[in-house]
Chains A and B, each alone.
Chain A
Amino acid sequence: MTQMEWNRRSLLQAGGAGLMIAGLPGLAAAQTPKRGGKLRIGLGGGQTTNTLDQTSPTFASPNERTVNYTLFNTLVEIDPDGKAIPELAESWTIDPGAKRWVFNLRRGVQFHNGKKMTADDVVFSLRRHSAPGSRSGAQGMLRDLESITKIDSHKVEILHKTGSLDVHFLMSDYHLSIVPDAQTESNGVGTGPYVLQSWEPGVRFRGTRNPNYWKADRAFADEVEIIVVNDDLARLSALQSGEVDVINRLDPRTVRLVEAAPTLKASIAHGYGYYTVNMRTQVEPFNNPDLRLAFKHLVNRQELLDRILRGYGSLGNDHPVSSKLPFFASSLPQREPDLDKARFHFRKSGHSGAIPLHTSPAVFSSAIDMAVLLQAQAAPIGMEITVQREPPDGYWGNIWMKKPFHMSYWTGRITTDIMLSTGYSGTAAWNETQWVNPHFDEVLAQARTEFDETRRAGLYAEAQSMIRDDGGVMIPLFNSFIDAARKAVGGNLIAPNMELAGGRIAERAWLG
């Protein structure tokens, strides 16, 4: 087996996903990168409405993110293990209480237009998302920051309102790319590995290698081309016929086909994203904790994994922390279907009558299928679920966080704290189930500034178990990113935060 053939079979041989990620850095080092050539990426998930502007409200598609990391850098990079490592910030210091952070910027970094990168650029790039009139998707993420200020030409101070040990993770977000100071036109000028040659939204991107790129051991291809191919079959065909070198979003049904092809390989990365069934805890009928527990106990997650994701994903344990995140509570037992317990809690809840489950293809493509499976799984204990199919238009405005029983999905967050604070603390704007538990909020706040790693892990484990046993979410599945490439493509394509090496494929892969 060559190093990079990470497919389902080798994954099983390695004895599970944990070993896969852990084994990678050593293996990748053994393979020598080769320079030159043109890396062609066939990308699903691009629209003609895409932009290069990080402050645009819709800036989130795989096309935008991948192009973004090809042209730009952020202060901090997420490595293939999900850890935060220095990028444009060389190092950082955290004051006790974790309110004051100082980022020391790398010296001698140049923008594509020749300008030297300094603290002014960083301050401008970060502040513009919360400026008045901003429509940026990063606005919510940054609202806990008190201030972003320049200390000297290569030092930036960031104050967090309440203190957090995860501020550096925030700085890796694709919205927070560093652009030249006062740059209002989105022309692709960044400090990243490739220089913009042409960009036609939803069609094609071309870049040539940045001759002054400050990372010596990255960005091996001379040119990068990203072609948007939204049709699953056309994308796979383009890979098979050699018109592109890498594709994302391989249809799970075709993974075996790719594995069987002598020149192709599939790479599967367990991610942070998950599907959830929300039970609003402040309204009938799920204000009854026993009814929530009855539902959580009856679900056969393995069946959902096999039938909805064809096995390419991992089981959820009714809390939103992925097993790939550092503070995942591995001590909590995996919830298995237990109809006796489900029946017990259902009887105790005293509930009777049908409960409509609102869902829509807007949540994910097979959301309706999942609802139908859940309906069937609930039938044996006498819990009657009716599937209420909603139109995609208006789902997030009229149904989500409004109906007592509905489905949702999260792309996940890069740290346990950010995940729990954005979706589960009592005051969170996206607390989808209105679940409020003062003790949970205390534990979360305490963990956010707990410098001792072991104690912090203990606090997060407690937080996860509270959501699991009392919260309003039934989280059955975490999904995986499935990419495919020609075997000639070297480098690590796996990252837990996003497909295509976390969007950084252009600088991490090479053509062998």
Chain B
Amino acid sequence: MTLPGMIARRSMEAVATLAIIAALLFGGVELIPGDPARTILGQNVTEEAVANLRIALRLDQPVYQRFFDWAAGAAHGDLGKSLLSGRPVGPDFAWRAKNTLFLAGYAALLSLPLAIALGLIAALYRDRLMDRTISLFSLATISFPEFFVGYVLLSVLAMDLGWFPVLSTVDPDMGFWERLHRCFLPAVTLSCLVGAYVLRITRATITSVLERPYIEMAELKGVSRLSLVFRHALINAIGPIANVVALALAYMIVGIVVTEVVFTYPGLGQWMVDSVAKHDMNVILACGLSFGATYVVLNLLADVAAVVANPRMRHPR
């Protein structure tokens, strides 16, 4: 199949996937136990207020009705209003999504080049002191939970040394360099977790490639070590590495609630969690679908990268 053909087919599949995700989100929120109106209002409320809130949340209408109404709006780019605060979802979503992407991009720039480079070095010097040191370091970072890494960074770099602020509460009107400075600690926290993972996969993939006969052949021909790794090994490992990089990027976009809380960072994660607690369907859908789309798009990009790097995949037998 040609590359454009593949992209076209996958894009159609993506739309279907997102529609299924939207339906699952709707169903999932329906499954949360308890009457949403009562859960939102808590303990001391009047029956009248509960009834009025049920109408505002449109709980008096069947679930499929609410779903199709929302889908019709979303198809026209209208994400609706928050059911509780009445604020339009669009602008808030845009601001928070930008923050989340900024942090993910920042962390990716910090971690991915370093992780891939260290993975290569570890593979090249397999079972030597260098490899062992790198492995120890990466295993340790994977094993520490995010909040622990976050608190240690806060305690040392923000509290003891005072180099960075404790609060990463960014502002729309904040300058680029100040933003970089404020977001450094959360970016490093994300980098530690995700970078170590990418490093280990890189090392494992390159190691297995280096064991293949054609590498031995190249070595016997007298190819230099540098050329061996870059021209012969790395190019053949791009598929798996692109995949893990895509997963890492996706994780940095959708899975950072803990980091957001520790560093008081206004991203999508906290918004989604708060909205689930209050059954605010429109916000949940906007966040949930964008998370789903992140995975779909990044997976597609990873596959494209794999195909581009490996001509054989363009010409299936």
Contact = CB atoms under 8 A, between A and B. Distances in A.
Interface of A: 42, 47-51, 53, 56-58, 60, 133-137, 139-140, 143, 200-204, 227-231, 233-234, 237-238, 240-241, 243-244, 391, 393-398, 400, 408, 422, 429-430
A118 B1 CA distance: 75
A133 B263 CA distance: 40
Contacts of A429: 46
Q: Is the interface of A mostly helix, strand, loop or mixed?
A: loop
Interface in B4-49: 32-35, 38-46, 48-49
Q: How large is the interface on B (under 10, 10 to 19, 20 to 34, 35 or more residues)?
A: 35 or more
A229 B270 CA distance: 12
B278 interface: yes
B39 A393 contact: yes
Contacts of B74: none
B264 A202 contact: no
Contacts of A48: 270-271, 274-275
A140 B33 contact: no
Contacts of B49: 57, 134-137, 139-140
10 interchain residue pairs of minimum CB distance: A394-B34, A397-B38, A394-B33, A51-B85, A140-B46, A48-B274, A47-B274, A237-B166, A238-B166, A135-B52
A361 to B, nearest CB: 13
Contact of A202 (B44, B151, B154, B274): B274
B56 interface: yes
12 contacts: A57-B49, A133-B52, A135-B53, A139-B48, A227-B264, A230-B261, A230-B264, A233-B154, A234-B262, A241-B165, A241-B166, A400-B43
Contact of B39 (A133, A397, A430): A397
B162 interface: yes
B264 A228 contact: yes
Interface in B247-296: 261-264, 266, 270-271, 274-275, 277-278, 280
B153 to A, nearest CB: 11
A234 B166 contact: yes
Contacts of B277: 47
B84 interface: yes
A43 to B, nearest CB: 11
B166 A408 contact: no
Nearest to B99: A203
B169 A227 contact: yes
A135 B33 contact: no
B43 to A, nearest CB: 5
B39, B44, B277 pick with most chain A CB within 10 angstroms = B44
B165 to A, nearest CB: 6
A42 B41 CA distance: 25
B85 A201 contact: yes
Nearest to B173: A198
A357 B42 CA distance: 20
B84 A51 contact: yes
B300 interface: no
Contacts of A240: 159
B77 interface: no
B56 A200 contact: no
